[in-house]
Structure 1
Amino acid sequence: MNKKINISKHLNTLTNNYLGISKIFIFIMFSLLIVFIFPKTSKFKYEYQKSKPWAYEDLIAPFDFAILKTSKEIELEKFDIIKKNKPYFVEDIKTKDIVKQNFLKDLNSSALMKDSQHKKETIEEVNKIIDSIYSKGIIQLPKNFSEKSLNEVYLVNNNIAHTKLIHDFLSIANAKSFIDNLKFKNIKNASYVKKLIIQNLIQNIVLDSIATKNGFNSLMNNISITKGMIQNGERIISKGELITNDKYIMLESLKTSFEKQIGETNFNFYAIFFGQLILVFTTMLMFSLFLYFYQKSIFYDNKKIVFILLIIYLMILITNTVIKYNIDYMYIIPVLFVPILIRAFFDSQIALIVHVVMLTIIGLLVPNSFQFVFLQLVSGVIVIISLLDFKHRARFFITVILIYITYCTIYLGLSLINEGSIMNIELSNFLLLAVSASLLLFSQPLIFISEKIFGFVTDLSLIELTDTNNKLLREFASKAPGSFQHSIQVADLAEEAIYHIGGNGLLIRAGALYHDIGKMFMPLYFVENKVMGINPHEELSSIESAKLIISHVTKGIEIAKKNNIPDIVIDFIRTHHGNSVTRFFYAQHVEQYQDISIDEEQEFRYNGPSPFSKETAVLMIVDSLEAATRSLKNPDSVAIDKMVDDIIDKQIEDNQFDNADITLKEINIVKKIIKKKLISIYHLRVEYPH
C-alpha cells in the first residue's frame, strides 16, 4: 500500500514539474519570438508633441545632422515635378519625304490633272509648301500632356536635348489650318490639292517615351529629403519652449539620425536586444502572474496559453511589418482583432488584460506611442463592452460602426491637442481608421478557424449545439424519449439557476441536453424509459445493474466524441455524477450481503471526476433533483423542500463540489430557485370532475 502511495506521489511530482517547465518554456519562447522581430535600434529617450512645451532641459545637438523634409514637402516637390515635367521628342527626318511620296501617289491616281506641265508645276509648288511646314515641324502631344499646362519640350538632336517652346511647332490642326488659308496662283483645282496635302500630313516631331520616362525618374530620384543642417553643439530647443512646427521637424530629424547611428555598432545591437528582452520578459511575467492568481483555468491549460500568446505575437508581427513598410499606414493595423478573438472564447476580464499586455509591447514599437496606444486602448474597451453577448451575428456590424465612431472621436480629440487647429489634421487617417474598422468584419471567419484548430467553443457554436433538431439529439429523443425529456427539463432548470449566480447559461444548457446521451445504449434499463410492468434489472445482480447504469457515462463520452461534440460539453457528461455511488443498487447489495469491503463499494461508484466548474456543479445538483422529484409519490412543497435539502447536503458531504468554483452562498441560491421551480412543475393538481 505504501509503495502505491509513493509511486503516486512521484507521478504527481513529475506531472507538476512537467507542467511548470512547459509553461516557462512557452512564455520564454514567445518572449524571444517577439524580441527577435523588434527593430534593433535604440529608441529616442525624449517624448514630445507638437504645440506642447519642451519638458526637458535645453537640448543641444550631440552631432551634425540634416533637417529632414516633411512628407508633405516631399509630396509637393513630386507634384511640382509632375506638373513641370517636360517630355522628350526627336525629329523623324524621313517623314517629309514620305509625305511627298504619298501626295504624288494620290495625285497620279487622280484623273483631274492630265496636263503634264501643270502637274509638274503643282508638284513643285506643293513640295515647297511641305518643306515649309516640316521645317517648322509637326508635333502631337501625348494624352497626359496638354498645351495649356505645357509650354516647353525637349528636342533631342545628336544626343543633346534642346529646350523648345511648344508654339515653335505646328500641331496637325494648325498645319491643316495653314494649308486651308493658302492661296495658289498657278494651280487649278486648288481645293482638291489642299485636300490631298492635308490627308497625307503626319507628325515628324515624335515622342521619345524612354527618354521621357528616364528624365522623369531622374528628377524624382534627385529630390533631396533634407533641407538644411544643424551643427554639433547648436541649441535645438530650450526648456519650456513651445514645440512649433519647425522645432518639431528638427526634433524628428535628430531622432531619426540618433536611432540610425545607435544601431550601427554590434555593442549597441546587443545592448538594445538585452533591453528589449528585459521589457518583454517583465511584461510576460506580469501577465503570467495575473493568469495564475485570477485565471487559473487558463494558466493550467497550455493550449489556451499558446492561443493567447500566438495571437499577441501575430498582431505585433503585423504592426512591425506595417511600420517598416510605411509608418503613415500605422492606423490601418487591425489591433482590435485581438480583444475580439479573446472575448469570443474567454471572459471580458481576460480580453481586457490581454489587450493591455499587447498594447504595452506595441508601445515599444510605434513612434510617439501615447497617441496610438490611447486610441486603441479606449476602442478596445468599447469592443469588449459591446461584445458581451456573442449570440447575435448582427452585433458585429453594430460594433464595427461603434468602433469607427470611437476611432474618429478619439483621433479628432488627440489631433486637436497636438495640432492646435482643425485645419492641420491629417484627414487621410480617417480613411485608414475606416479600413481598420472594416477589417474587423473578418473576425467571424477567424473565430471559426480558431474554433476548429484549438477546439474552443463560442456562444454561436453552443446555440447550434442546443438545437434539438440536430441529428444527435433527434436520435436521442427517438431511442430514449424519457431520458431526452428529463434532459430538456434539466436544461431549463439549470439555465435558470446559473443565471442567478453568474455563469454561462448557453454552456450549461448544452451540457444538460447531452449529459445523458449514453442512455441511448440499452435505454430500457433506465427508469424514465421503462415500459409499464417490465423491469430488466430483475434478471441482473445489483453489481451488474450498477455497472450498466454507470456505463452510460463512458458510453455518452464515446457517442459525443464520435459526433464531434466539444470537450467543454463532454465535461458535463463526465462530471454529472462525479464519483458518487449508485445508491439504489448499493443499498440493495448491502441489504443482501450486509458487510461489504471497500473494493466492493468501488464497484458502485462512478469513475468521476467530480464537477470542476460552477456550471458542472449546478448541472449535478439539478440532474439529481429533477430525477428524484419524479420518484416522489406526493410531490407537495414540504416533500420537495426536504428532498432538495437532503440531496444537496449529501453531495456536499460526499465532497462533490470541492473542485468547483462555487460557494455555499451560491449553492443556497440554487436551492431556492430549484425548489420554487420544482414545486411549480410537480405540485399536486386539483382533480376536476369529468
Structure 2
Amino acid sequence: MSFQHLKAFKFYHVIIYVLLGLIMFGIMFSNVKPEKINVQLFSTAEKTIVAPHSFEDREATELLRKEAADKVPDQFIRDKDKVYQQIARVENFFEVLMDTKNQIAELEKVPETSPPPQGGADSSETEEQPESIKLTDAEKLKLLKETLEGQVPERWEKELKDENLLFLLASKEADLTRYKNASVTAINNAMSRDIHTIEDASEAKNLARTELSQSGNVPSVIINISSISVIQNVIYDSAQTQEKKQQAIDAIEPVRISQGDTLVKAGQFIDRETYRLLTAAGFVNQSDNVAPYAGLLIIIGLMIFALVYLFKNIDTAIHSKNTYLTMYLLIFSITLILLKIFSFFQTLNTTEIGYIAPVAMGAMLIKMLINDRIAIFSSIIFGICGSFIFNMVPGAMNYTVGSYLIISAVASVLFLNQHNRRLTILQTGLFVSFINVVTVIALILLTNRDLTGMNELLELGINGTMAVGSGVVSAVLTIGILPFFEVGFGMLSTMKLLELSNPNHPLLRKILMETPGTYHHSVMVANLSESACESVGANGLLARVASYYHDIGKTKRPHYFIENQMGRANPHDKLPPQTSKNIIIAHATDGAQILKDHNMPKEIVDIAAQHHGTTLLKFFYHKAKEQNENIKEEEYRYPGPKATSKEAAIVGTADSIEAAVRSLNNPTPDKIETIVKAIIKDRLQDGQYSDCDLTFKELEEIGKSFCETLQGIFHSRIEYPKGEEEES
C-alpha cells in the first residue's frame, strides 16, 4: 500500500493520534517510572537518594505533637465558692453559739410570780416564790453539741474542746460578734490569693493567724478555727487543660519532606531513622505501581483530545487533513526527541540544561506549515512534556524549565510574521534568544537569590548562553528542516512563495526574456489577484505568485499571443480557427506541464491549469461558425478543469479582466466597472465558479477590488501641450 493510499485510509487520523500518544508516552516513560533502589537497614547507601514526591512524615509529626502536648502545664481555676463556703461555716458556727446561748438564757430565766388574791384573804398569806433553774456546764455543753452536730467540719473537733466551747458560751454577745467579724475578715483575706499547693495553704493559714493575733483579744480557739477554715481554693480544670493541649497540638505543622529533598547521601550509614524515612518515601518493599503511568496517560489523553478538536476545525482547502496530521506527527516527534537528547546531559549536574533545548523550532515549523492556533497550543504541549523530560525526580515536573519552554515557543510563533524569509527566521531566532535570556533572569530573580556572588554570576552566564543558543539553534534547524517538508509533502509555505516570487527565478526569467508582453500582463494580473484575494480572506500571496506563472505555457509559442507580437503580423490571420484554437488552448496545459517538470508546488500548477476553466474561445468559435454552422461550442472550450479554489477563480477572472481593460483605448472608471461586472457575470452564468466556494457577496467584493486596482493603474494623466518648453 502506497503512502498516498494510506493517507486516504478511513481511520488514518486515528492511527496518527495513537502514534502521537505512544511517542509521548515512550519518551516520557522513563521520567515517571519509579526508581527501584536496594535499601537495607544498617547498610551504607550506594547513591544519594532524594524524595521522589512530597509526603508527610507522620511519625515525626506525631512525636512533635506529643512533645508539645506534654509541655502544656495542667490548668487550674480559682473556685470563688470555696471562700464563701468557709465563711458561711464560720458564720453558721457563731449563729449556733448565739442561738444556744439564748436558749440557755431562756431555760435559766426565773418564772414570773402569780398576782395576789383580791379580798377574802389575809395579806399575810402569800404564794411561795419559785426557785431559778441553773444549768450545769455539762447540760450546756450537751445542748450546744446537739445543736452543732453535723454543722461543723470534723477537722474542727480537735479545737472545739469542752473548755473552749464553755468559754465561748460564757462570752458576751458583742464579743462573739467581734470574734465572728475578725474571723470572717481573716479568712477572706487569706483566701483572696491562689492557694494551689500545701505550701500555699500553709502560708495562707499563717497569714490568717497573724491577722487575728494582731486584732487583739481574739481567743486562740477562734484563731485555730479560722486557720483551719483556710483551705485550697484552686482546682484542676480538665476541660481547659485538654483545650490547651489541643491548641499546642494544632500549632504543630506536619513534618513534610519536599520533593527532591535528600533522604540519604551516598556513603551515609542507614540507621533506623533514615530507614524509616526511606520506608515512608516508598523505597522499602517497592512494588510495581501503575499509578504514575496512569497519570501520564491521562495527561497525554487530554492533550490529544485538544489536538483532535483543533485539527477538526482546520482549513483543508488545499491539503487534506491527514497530510497536516502527518506533518504534525513528524515535527512533534523531532522536537520531543531533541528535548530528550538534551535531557541526557542532566547527569552533568546541570539541572537547567533544558534552557538550550530548541523548542522554538517545532513551534515555528508548525506555524509555517499548518497554522498559528495549533502552533500556540503545541508550544504549551512542548512545555508540559519538557517539564517531565527535564525533571530530576521520577514523576515530578520541572516547572522552571517547563515555563521557560512555553515562553520560548510562544515568542517564536508571535514574532514570526506571515511574510517570512530565511532572514526573518534568523531574526526570529535572535528575538527568541533575547526573550529566553530575559526569562532566565526572571526565573532566577523569582527564587530570591543573590546575584552578586561569583558562583551566581557564573551560573547566570552559563544559563544565559544556553538561552541564546536555544534561539539560534532553533532558527538554524528550522531553515534546514523546512525544505524537506515542503518537498516531501508538497507544502507551500509563505517563505517558499516569496522565494518563487523572486524575479531571478529561472522560470520568471524565461517568461521575461521570451515573452515580455506576457510577463507584464502577469504582473498586472498579480496585482489584481492579490488585492481581490485579501478582500475576501483568501491567500493573496499565493494568488500573486501563481499569477506570475499562470501563462508560462505561452513561452512555447510566444508570437501566437497578441501581447508578444510587438507590431508583427498576427499569425492567426493565416491559420484556420481550429488550429488557432488548439494553439491558444494548449498554453494552459503546456504551462501546467512545464511547472510540473520544474517541481513547482501543486497549488501553482493547479491555478495554471484551471485559470481558464472551461470558458469559450468566443473569437475563434464565431470565426469557425461563419465557416461551418455545424461547429459545436464544446470544441472551442478550454478542457478545464474549473477553478477549485478561491485563488484559482480570482486569478482566472483577473486574467480576463486585465486583457479586456488593456484593449480599451481610453479606459475610464465607468468603462472599467462595466467590463468587470460583465466578465464576472458571464463567468458566473457559464458555471465557472461552481467548483469553488465563492459566495455572491464575495464576488461583489472581488469586483470592487478589481475596479479600485484598475482605476489606480489606468488613472488619467495631464496632457502637456506639444512643443512647450520647460521654463528654466
Does TM, normalized by the shorter one, top 0.5? yes
Are 1:298 and 1:305, in contact at CA under 8 Å, matched by a contact in 2? no
1:9 equivalent in structure 2 = none
Letter in 1 for 2:481: L
Letter in 1 for 2:515: A
Deviation at 1:654, TM superposition (A): 3.9
TM-score (norm 2): 0.58
Deviation at 1:225, TM superposition (A): 1.8
Determine the C-alpha separation between the residues in 1 that align with 2:255 and 2:58. Answer: 21
Matches within 5 A, 1:202-217: none
Matches within 5 A, 1:515-664: 515-530=550-565, 532=567, 534-538=569-573, 540-588=575-623, 601=634, 604-613=637-646, 615-658=647-690, 660=692, 664=696
2:713 equivalent in structure 1 = 681
| CA 224–309 in structure 1, closer or farther in 2 if over 3 Å, else same | closer
Aligned with 1:289 (options 299, 306, 309): 309
Deviation at 1:307, TM superposition (A): 1.9
Are 1:291 and 1:298, in contact at CA under 8 Å, matched by a contact in 2? no
Are 2:367 and 2:413, in contact at CA under 8 Å, matched by a contact in 1? yes
1:387 equivalent in structure 2 = 416
Determine the C-alpha separation between the residues in 2 that align with 1:357 and 1:473. Answer: 42
Q: RMSD of the TM alignment (CA)? A: 4.5
Determine the C-alpha separation between the residues in 1 that align with 2:426 and 2:8. Answer: 44
2:13 equivalent in structure 1 = 23
Letter in 2 for 1:644: V
Determine the C-alpha separation between the residues in 2 that align with 1:320 and 1:241. Answer: 43
Deviation at 1:394, TM superposition (A): 4.5
Aligned with 1:225 (options 33, 48, 66): 48
Determine the C-alpha separation between the residues in 2 that align with 1:431 and 1:543. Answer: 71
Determine the C-alpha separation between the residues in 2 that align with 1:292 and 1:255. Answer: 49
Matches within 5 A, 1:142-221: none
Deviation at 1:338, TM superposition (A): 0.7
1:668 equivalent in structure 2 = 700
Determine the C-alpha separation between the residues in 2 that align with 1:567 and 1:370. Answer: 44
Determine the C-alpha separation between the residues in 1 that align with 2:282 and 2:642. Answer: 58
418-427 or 535-544, which moves further after superposition? 418-427
Deviation at 1:560, TM superposition (A): 1.6
Deviation at 1:571, TM superposition (A): 2.9
| CA 25–655 in structure 1, closer or farther in 2 if over 3 Å, else same | farther
| CA 332–532 in structure 1, closer or farther in 2 if over 3 Å, else same | closer
TM-score (norm 1): 0.61
Q: Where does structure 1 lack aligned partners over 5 or more consecutive residues?
A: 1-13, 45-62, 68-220
Determine the C-alpha separation between the residues in 2 that align with 1:518 and 1:574. Answer: 10
2:439 equivalent in structure 1 = 410
| CA 249–528 in structure 1, closer or farther in 2 if over 3 Å, else same | closer
1:176 equivalent in structure 2 = none
Determine the C-alpha separation between the residues in 1 that align with 2:416 and 2:261. Answer: 44
1:430 equivalent in structure 2 = 464
Determine the C-alpha separation between the residues in 1 that align with 2:601 and 2:366. Answer: 18
1:440 aligns with 2:474: yes
Deviation at 1:516, TM superposition (A): 0.2
| CA 570–326 in structure 1, closer or farther in 2 if over 3 Å, else same | same
Largest Rg, 1 or 2: 2
26-35 or 306-315, which moves further after superposition? 26-35
Deviation at 1:434, TM superposition (A): 2.9
Deviation at 1:657, TM superposition (A): 4.0
Deviation at 1:549, TM superposition (A): 1.9
1:495 equivalent in structure 2 = 530
| CA 326–572 in structure 1, closer or farther in 2 if over 3 Å, else same | same
Deviation at 1:336, TM superposition (A): 0.9
Letter in 1 for 2:59: E
Determine the C-alpha separation between the residues in 2 that align with 1:15 and 1:603. Answer: 37
Matches within 5 A, 1:308-387: 308-326=328-346, 328=351, 329-363=353-387, 365-367=389-391, 368-387=397-416
Matches within 5 A, 1:452-491: 452-491=487-526
Are 2:358 and 2:474, in contact at CA under 8 Å, matched by a contact in 1? yes
Letter in 1 for 2:673: D
Deviation at 1:518, TM superposition (A): 0.3
Q: Where does structure 2 lack aligned partners over 5 or more consecutive residues?
A: 66-249, 265-276, 392-396, 724-728
408-417 or 15-24, which moves further after superposition? 15-24
Are 2:581 and 2:617, in contact at CA under 8 Å, matched by a contact in 1? yes
Are 1:543 and 1:604, in contact at CA under 8 Å, matched by a contact in 2? no
Deviation at 1:584, TM superposition (A): 3.3
Determine the C-alpha separation between the residues in 1 that align with 2:641 and 2:635. Answer: 12
SS in 2 for 1:39: helix
Deviation at 1:630, TM superposition (A): 1.9
| CA 431–580 in structure 1, closer or farther in 2 if over 3 Å, else same | same
Letter in 2 for 1:280: I
SS in 2 for 1:326: helix
Determine the C-alpha separation between the residues in 2 that align with 1:255 and 1:419. Answer: 31
| CA 688–591 in structure 1, closer or farther in 2 if over 3 Å, else same | farther
Deviation at 1:376, TM superposition (A): 2.2
Determine the C-alpha separation between the residues in 2 that align with 1:390 and 1:618. Answer: 21
Determine the C-alpha separation between the residues in 1 that align with 2:254 and 2:631. Answer: 89
Kindly provide the CA deviation profile for residues 70-92 of structure 1, in whole angstroms up to 9, marking residues without a partner as x. xxxxxxxxxxxxxxxxxxxxxxx
Matched length: 500
Are 1:41 and 1:272, in contact at CA under 8 Å, matched by a contact in 2? no
Letter in 2 for 1:388: N
SS in 2 for 1:234: helix
